[in-house]
Amino acid sequence: MIFLIIFTVVTAFFLGFIFGTKKVNQKKAKPKTKQNENLQTIEKEYQNFLNYDGSVQQ
């Protein structure tokens, strides 16, 4: 009985390992330029927020 449980666990581990390393064909999404521009704008605004020292803005 113990050997059956050990055999089942070892078999499940190896099957999981084999299926885990199997490559799946995934479509790679192309980066969208509008989203990249929006991200750059948000990053610039965030940097301005972090660098603000409390002085009056003009």
- CB contact set of 38 (below 8 Å; sequence gap of 6+): none
Q: Is 12 exposed, middle or buried (0-12, 13-18, 19+ CB in 10 A)?
A: exposed
pLDDT tens per residue across span 15-55: 999 888 877 666 776 666 666 778 888 899 999 888 888 88
Which tokens sit at 36? 């990249």
Residue 38 gets which letter from DSSP? H
The whole-number pLDDT of residue 15 equals 92
DSSP state for residue 1 in the 8-state scheme: -
pLDDT for the residue 14: 93
